[in-house]
Structure 1
Amino acid sequence: MFKNLKFKKLSTSLVVVASLLVAQAPFANYAEAAGAEKVEKKKKRKTHLVGPRVGKKVQKAFEAYSADDLKGAIAILLDIDASKAYDKAYVNRMLAVMYATLGDNEQNTIDYLKKAIEPDLLNEVDHGESLKLLGDMQMQTKDYEGALKAYYAWMDFTGKSDGQVYIKIANAYYSLKQLDKVIEPANKAIAAFGDKPNQNPYILKITSYYENKKYKEAVEVLETVIQLFPENKQWWTQLPMFYLLVEDYDKATQTLDLAYKLGYLDKESQIKTLASLYAQSETPYKAAKLLEKHIASGLVKRDDKNISTLANAWHSAQHIDKAASYYGELAKMTSSAKHYRKQGMLLKQDEQFAKAIVALNKAIELGVSNQGRIHMSIAESYFYLEKYKQAYAAIQKAIKDPKSRKSARGWKSFIVDTAKRKNVTI
């Protein structure tokens, strides 16, 4: 991605991120202390037991569940007529879990979870897990505001700081298009994962910044991510695209170049982008070599647009013979007069005069514009081949064109004088 010296910027970004995490440490310690206090309180929560009558039916439901008869288990639970508040909450929680396990019953799961949670009587573990499950089910039904309430209630109740839950919270804010609110829970998720980083909160941050058109901030996150997850090729191809968004073409070129060397570029669009960046950074030879290799391999289509780009790259690199060759291929593909003209002019420049005459005559045949200038080039080519009679005939045609008449007359005199000196009748 970067040629040695460019890693300084990445290191700076990591220092910034690290300093932010350090700055949050006092808050994190406070949160841990507060969480510990909450957990201590929950230990004093009154423990309830299911009544004997309800307990027998619950046992039957468990037996049906263990025999993979989920619907039977649900039917048994639905038939329970519990009178005590705790028994009702317990059965409702069991129904919610059964419906969640059954699948395609999100609303039933949500309804029973709410009934189970509302009395606030469930034992600590059951109550906490019910809150989290409620949030998960509400996410599935796209009730993102409800999910946020459930997740925050879970954290408040348990005093826990969980990276996965923070990711879900960030996702909920993203789904609500509250893009600015995505960043804080994503950062908390990153902090919660500690030295075992997870890519998902970074993806949420990048997506949020991108959709908010905060491209510089997205670049900073990507620069961090690429060092944390260097084995993931998607970051090596995304970072250059973001550099292009902030018009940092040097870094875009360096990053994509390194991605190519690491073997991460496997799409036509990626190769063409790198070739374009090479050309813009005044290294057209690298652009030409890259395109030529991957057109030959078939990764880049051998069509008129790509051959035209390749021909231009070789021309810019001053490899005239190569450029002429590819313009010739392009001319055959398109039967275009302008491409035959370009091929002919480059062949003449490369002193391949006989081939130049063939290409230039084809351009005239196909109706190229400014034919007087083309006839002059044909005359020059014949002249250097010492075919003075043909040169004279061609220059006479050039004289007929007002645009080339003045220059052609000068050439005519030169051709005539040279022919006389060499005793050639024209």
Structure 2
Amino acid sequence: MKKFALVFALVLMAGPVNAELSQYTAGKVQRANNLQQENKLDEAIELLAELSPSKAYDHAFVKRMLGVFYWQKGDTQKAIVNISGAVESGLLQDEQAWITQRMLADILLSDEQFKRALPHYYQLSKSIPETQKADELWFRIAQTHYQTREWKQVLSAMKTYESLNRVDDVQPLTIKLGAQLQLQQWRQSLPTLKRLIILEPNKVAWWQQTAGIQLRLSRSKDALDTLALAKRQGVELSQQDLKTLAQLYAQRGIPEQAAIIYAQLEGAKTDVELVSSQARYWQMAKEWDKAISVWSQAAELDNKHRWPLAQLLLQGGYYRKAIAELDKVTLKDRMDDIELAKVRAYYKLENFEQAIIHAKMANNIKSTSASKSWIKYLSQMRKMDS
């Protein structure tokens, strides 16, 4: 809006003193300009609207000024009609003609008449006065193509814009990124995101998009580095981002970092899925005591997790605790495995009587080579003892 006001001010400044206007029209234009400066906009519009100049240039000039006043009043459509008439006359040949057409293009853009605005912008780009900013014009072209979802044209306009303006800014880079993503130019979008991160290091979206694209390109190491750096710098990553980071640590062979991250998540002690995942990562890291502790928490939240807890206790040599947990396991499809686990625990405790009882129970549930082998072996052990 401020840029529009500046453009309109430039148009008005050159109006009343233009030597090509007839004396009569120049007087009326000057009077209208004074009324406008006195905040009597309706009177200024009425005065100009009543004029019917015979001279073509006067007619074009009045339309231009009337269009400016209509825009200031908020009547966009009348502003467009009058300024279009002035531009299409072809009689405004000085720099003010260029400014007037730019004003028309900007109004059309603001009114979301994108297809009508584009030809004006491209016409303007052919001859840009030294006093005007060429980079701003090409950015307008890129913006307009963006609105019409013409992604290749957006990038073409942005290429020209960037050749004229070497200073990075968020809005142009965001438009460029949007077009690149729409065209699935994943590799090309990464340098754009890097520039956006430099400008807005705390904006989580840039980090998320960077990591997401790196994963899409099967660059999991880069994605891990991206999310890890974001976390170190205090960027507020989402729960899902942190879960992804943990998974990437595990894939990289650093499951203890994955467990640490899961322990920091919201609900880390009450959400059974988060607790069991944390336990699994500690187990992958061969941190047995930590894994047992967290599996115990998971088992309290959901009884199905007593089975991995019991297995780990058995593996760690905590045989009595393993038996106590196995007695609480209620997984019907695991009953034979549960009995065989008890067999191993009792065997390690040298309680062969209980071991053979549970071996036979396992065999009754499901006869397997394992259950048969235990029964045979333990029977032999009992005979030897006797």
TM-score in terms of structure 2 length: 0.81
Task: Output the CA distance in 2 between the equivalents of 1:416 and 1:71.
Answer: 113
Structure 1 counterpart of 2:89:
119
Structure 2 counterpart of 1:40:
none
Task: Output the CA distance in 1 between the equivalents of 2:71 and 2:383.
Answer: 100
Q: Measure how far apart 1:114 and its partner are.
A: 0.6
- The answer to whether residue 373 in structure 2 is matched with residue 412 in structure 1 is no
Structure 2 counterpart of 1:95:
66
Task: Output the CA distance in 2 between the equivalents of 1:58 and 1:220.
Answer: 53
- The answer to whether residue 367 in structure 2 is matched with residue 402 in structure 1 is yes
Query: Which residue, 181, 186, 205 being the options, matches 2:158?
Result: 186
Task: Output the CA distance in 2 between the equivalents of 1:93 and 1:417.
Answer: 114
Deviations 1:323-377 (A, max 9, x none): 3333343344344x3x22122212222233333233322223xx33131111121
Task: Output the CA distance in 1 between the equivalents of 2:289 and 2:332.
Answer: 22
Deviations 1:268-311 (A, max 9, x none): 1221221121122121111111121234xx6x795333333322
Q: Measure how far apart 1:414 and its partner are.
A: 7.2
Query: Which residue, 307, 310, 318 being the options, matches 1:341?
Result: 307
Q: Measure how far apart 1:409 and its partner are.
A: 1.1
Task: Map 1:40-59; keep pairs closer than 5 Å.
Answer: 48-59=19-30
Query: Which residue, 292, 308, 319 being the options, matches 2:287?
Result: 319
Say whether the 8 Å CA contact 2:95–2:129 is kept in structure 1. Answer: no
How many matched pairs?
A: 365
Query: Which residue, 206, 210, 223 being the options, matches 1:235?
Result: 206
Task: Output the CA distance in 2 between the equivalents of 1:340 and 1:284.
Answer: 22
Task: Map 1:5-44; keep pairs closer than 5 Å.
Answer: none
Corresponding residue SS for 1:263? coil
Task: Map 1:280-359; keep pairs closer than 5 Å.
Answer: 280-295=251-266, 303-335=271-303, 337=304, 339-359=305-325
Q: Measure how far apart 1:392 and its partner are.
A: 4.7
Task: Output the CA distance in 2 between the equivalents of 1:79 and 1:417.
Answer: 124
Segments of 5+ residues of structure 1 without an aligned counterpart are 1-45, 422-426
Task: Output the CA distance in 1 between the equivalents of 2:229 and 2:256.
Answer: 17
Structure 1 counterpart of 2:125:
155
Task: Output the CA distance in 2 between the equivalents of 1:387 and 1:319.
Answer: 29
Task: Output the CA distance in 2 between the equivalents of 1:289 and 1:331.
Answer: 20
Aligned-pair Cα RMSD in Å = 3.1
Say whether the 8 Å CA contact 1:383–1:415 is kept in structure 2. Answer: no
Corresponding residue SS for 1:370? helix
Structure 2 counterpart of 1:66:
37
Query: Which residue, 177, 180, 183 being the options, matches 2:149?
Result: 177
Corresponding residue SS for 2:328? helix
* Percent identity between the two aligned chains: 26
- The answer to whether residue 195 in structure 2 is matched with residue 202 in structure 1 is no
* Structure 1 residues 136 and 398, CA gap change in structure 2 (3 angstroms): same
Q: Measure how far apart 1:265 and its partner are.
A: 3.8
Query: Which residue, 111, 129, 152 being the options, matches 1:141?
Result: 111
Segments of 5+ residues of structure 2 without an aligned counterpart are 1-16
* Structure 1 residues 139 and 416, CA gap change in structure 2 (3 angstroms): farther
**AA at the equivalent of 1:191:** S
* Structure 1 residues 77 and 312, CA gap change in structure 2 (3 angstroms): farther
**AA at the equivalent of 1:118:** E
* Structure 1 residues 47 and 77, CA gap change in structure 2 (3 angstroms): closer
Task: Output the CA distance in 1 between the equivalents of 2:152 and 2:243.
Answer: 35
Query: Which residue, 117, 136, 145 being the options, matches 1:164?
Result: 136
Higher relative contact order (CA 8 A, sep 6+): 1
TM-score in terms of structure 1 length: 0.75
